[in-house]
Amino acid sequence: MLTAAIASGDPRSSARLLASLEQSGLVGSIKQWLMPMEKLPDSSEQLPDVVFLDLSHDNEAFFTFGAHLRRIHPATRIIACSATVPPSPQLLLEAMRGGVQDFLPKPIEPEALKGILAQVLQENEGKDRPSFNKLVVIMGSKGGVGSTTVTVNLGVKLATHAKKRTLVLDFARPLGNVHLLLDLQPHFGLRDAVENLDRLDSHFFAGLTTRHKTGLEILGGASQPEEWQSIATPPLERVVNVAQSSFDIVLLDMGSQFSPEWSTILRTARMILVVAEANVPSLWALERRLMALTGFGIEPDRARVVINRWHRNDEEALKSIQKEIRRPIFACLPNDYRKASLAVNLGTPLMENHNNLLNDRYREIASQLAGIDVRPFAKKSGLGDLFSFTPKR
Ligand SMILES: Nc1ncnc2c1ncn2[C@@H]1O[C@H](COP(=O)(O)OP(=O)(O)OP(=O)(O)O)[C@@H](O)[C@H]1O
Ligand SMILES: [Mg+2]
């Protein structure tokens, strides 16, 4: 992850650049410097990996500033953003003297920006992974197996038990119903994010999310089936990146949809939880889905299987599926129709209750994802073989 700063004399232009940087998914922290600066940074200050000079009329002040930065911190990459396209030879010469190494035309093209940032990251020799590593995707092996129930209850446990700033992105198709399970009425949602990509930064994004009383936040999904017709997948990638810049953990309910277009988002996920039931159609679909994920270049270690509505009699079937898919089942969530449907119909997540096995399981998974102590419980419940927490990434 890179650190960056934007030096600009125009707050609106600076905000646009900020949004583009957040959307790139490659920048962790971003400073905004107002030009001309009253006091120039000195060598004792920690300077960012990349500085963007948002050129305007008075280029001289920017280049003096750039040259100063290069002098005190030669490792900083200086990139000029200019609306003069192509830059004149005179401008290029002045920029070079001002320590500028790259030129980006304005308005900034996301792919060009990402290309330069990726290059800087590579040059900085993988000090960090080029992603936020906060995204957990939840998908159903087929429809109706519990992808949304798992997303919501896990989200609540991450927010309450693990005390993580947690966001649910409702990307299920054709309709998103995360809000129903939490009895929320979002005023804004996915569509607003996608329709305002040019100003989508963490500040704007905060205005689109809806908070549940547990602290869990959601970005509401599609409320009309035809909404998805106007939503392409690449902009979703940018929504995911901005979301990760504001939260500790981002859960993405993608329902049971599956297409190669999603591979970019799936590849950046820290973990993909594939929810299935222990019946033939669901396990059949699970096996194929896992194979397809491997085909997208996702290591088996990152695609974990969650068996929902588990019942003791399922153990034999699950033992054989573990052999088929050549990986252990990550978690089993017991079948509890009464509690699950009560929770859904009341719009309340599963209650904290010591006798509630389902609730315990969700807490265990949340602890695992959040990297906090997992209490040994398997023996007591008899699910020992079917609940394998392998070391976290
Ligand atoms: N552990 C459980 N025990 C019993 N019932 C459950 C359990 N988990 C979920 N359910 C029930 O299964 C049904 C489907 O759940 P859910 O809506 O989460 O599935 P989904 O995979 O998101 O479906 P869709 O494909 O429509 O998005 C709901 O009625 C829910 O209450
Ligand atoms: Mg669903």
Q: For residue 79, give the CATH number of its domain.
A: 3.40.50.2300
Q: Helix 59-72 and helix 89-97: axis angle, to 10°?
A: 30
Residue that is last in its domain, among 123, 155, 183 = 123
Going from the Cα of 21 to the center of ligand 1, the distance in angstroms, rounded, reads 37
User: Could you tell me if 64 and 140 lie in one domain?
Assistant: no
Residue 256 in contact with ligand 1 by CB distance below 6 A: yes
Comparing C-alpha atoms, which of 246, 198, 259, 191 is closest to residue 224? 191
Residue that is last in its domain, among 92, 123, 154 = 123
Write the pLDDT tens digit of every residue in 342-387.
777 777 777 655 568 888 899 999 998 887 755 444 444 444 434 4
Residue 308 counted as domain residue: yes
Write the pLDDT tens digit of every residue in 306-325.
999 999 899 889 999 999 89
Residue 6 has pLDDT above 50, yes or no: yes
CATH of the domain at 152: 3.40.50.300
User: Could you tell me if 234 and 339 lie in one domain?
Assistant: yes
Comparing C-alpha atoms, which of 271, 269, 257, 254 is closest to residue 178? 254
User: Could you tell me if 197 and 327 lie in one domain?
Assistant: yes
CA–CA dist 179, 151 (Å, integer): 11
Residue 141 counted as domain residue: yes
CA dihedral 185, 189, 192, 196 (to 10 degrees): 140
User: Could you tell me if 210 and 353 lie in one domain?
Assistant: yes
Mean of the pLDDT values across residues 192-204? 90
Going from the Cα of 351 to the center of ligand 1, the distance in angstroms, rounded, reads 17
| Token duo for residue 238 | 């940018």
Residue 190 counted as domain residue: yes
User: Could you tell me if 176 and 88 lie in one domain?
Assistant: no
User: Could you tell me if 118 and 146 lie in one domain?
Assistant: no
Residue 389 has pLDDT above 70, yes or no: no
Going from the Cα of 277 to the center of ligand 2, the distance in angstroms, rounded, reads 14
Q: Where are the beta strands (DSSP E) in the chain?
A: 2-8, 27-34, 50-54, 77-82, 102-105, 135-140, 166-170, 210-211, 217-219, 249-253, 271-277, 303-310, 331-334
Residue 201 has pLDDT above 60, yes or no: yes
Give the pLDDT band (50/70/90) at residue 132: low
Which atom of ligand 1 is closest in space to residue 144's alpha carbon?
23
CA–CA dist 88, 221 (Å, integer): 46
Report pLDDT for 86: 85
The residue whose two tokens read 């297409």 is 259
Residue 129 counted as domain residue: no
Around 214, how many Cα atoms within 13 Å sit in the side-chain half-sphere?
28
Contact 368, 374 (CB under 8 A): yes
User: Could you tell me if 97 and 144 lie in one domain?
Assistant: no
| DSSP bridge pairs for 54 | 8, 81
Identify the weakest region by mean pLDDT among 14-28, 34-48, 77-91, 167-181: 34-48
Report pLDDT for 377: 40
Report pLDDT for 347: 76
Comparing C-alpha atoms, which of 225, 256, 222 is closest to residue 236? 222
Residue 180 in contact with ligand 1 by CB distance below 6 A: no
Going from the Cα of 296 to the center of ligand 2, the distance in angstroms, rounded, reads 23
Give the pLDDT band (50/70/90) at residue 58: confident
Identify the weakest region by mean pLDDT among 88-92, 107-111, 122-126, 307-311: 122-126
Residue 119 counted as domain residue: yes
Residue 329 in contact with ligand 1 by CB distance below 6 A: no
Q: In the chain, how many domains are there?
A: 2
Residue 147 in contact with ligand 1 by CB distance below 6 A: yes
User: Could you tell me if 188 and 49 lie in one domain?
Assistant: no
Going from the Cα of 344 to the center of ligand 1, the distance in angstroms, rounded, reads 9
- Nearest residue (CA) to ligand 1, atom 23: 144
Write the pLDDT tens digit of every residue in 26-48.
998 898 999 988 888 876 567 89
Residue that is last in its domain, among 79, 98, 123 = 123
Residue 309 in contact with ligand 1 by CB distance below 6 A: yes
Can you give the length of the chain in residues? 393
Report pLDDT for 381: 41
Contacts of 302 by beta carbon, 8 Å cutoff, 6+ apart: 269, 270, 271, 272, 393
Mean of the pLDDT values across residues 6-15? 93
Report pLDDT for 133: 78
Residue 249 counted as domain residue: yes
Contact 240, 135 (CB under 8 A): yes
Give the pLDDT band (50/70/90) at residue 337: confident
State which of 141, 145, 149 you would mutate to test the pocket of ligand 1, scoring each by most atoms of that ligand within 8 A of its C-beta.
Answer: 149
- Nearest residue (CA) to ligand 1, atom 27: 255
Pick the ligand that lies closest to the CA of residue 257.
Answer: 1
- Nearest residue (CA) to ligand 1, atom 16: 146
Mean of the pLDDT values across residues 84-105? 89
User: Could you tell me if 157 and 247 lie in one domain?
Assistant: yes
Instruction: Write the DSSP string, 33-78.
Output: EESSPSS---TTSPPPSEEEEE--S-HHHHHHHHHHHHHH-TTSEE
User: Could you tell me if 285 and 228 lie in one domain?
Assistant: yes
Choose the most confident range, by mean pLDDT, from 34-43, 138-147, 232-241. Answer: 138-147
Supply the range of the domain harboring residue 237.
135-386
Going from the Cα of 331 to the center of ligand 2, the distance in angstroms, rounded, reads 19
Residue 77 in contact with ligand 1 by CB distance below 6 A: no
User: Could you tell me if 119 and 214 lie in one domain?
Assistant: no
Residue 130 counted as domain residue: no
Peptide bond into 174 cis (omega under 30): yes
Identify the weakest region by mean pLDDT among 7-11, 37-41, 58-62, 358-362: 37-41
Residue 285 counted as domain residue: yes
Choose the most confident range, by mean pLDDT, from 16-20, 31-35, 68-72, 136-140. Answer: 136-140
Which atom of ligand 1 is closest in space to residue 308's alpha carbon?
1
Mean model confidence pLDDT for the chain: 87
User: Could you tell me if 265 and 201 lie in one domain?
Assistant: yes
Give the pLDDT band (50/70/90) at residue 330: very high
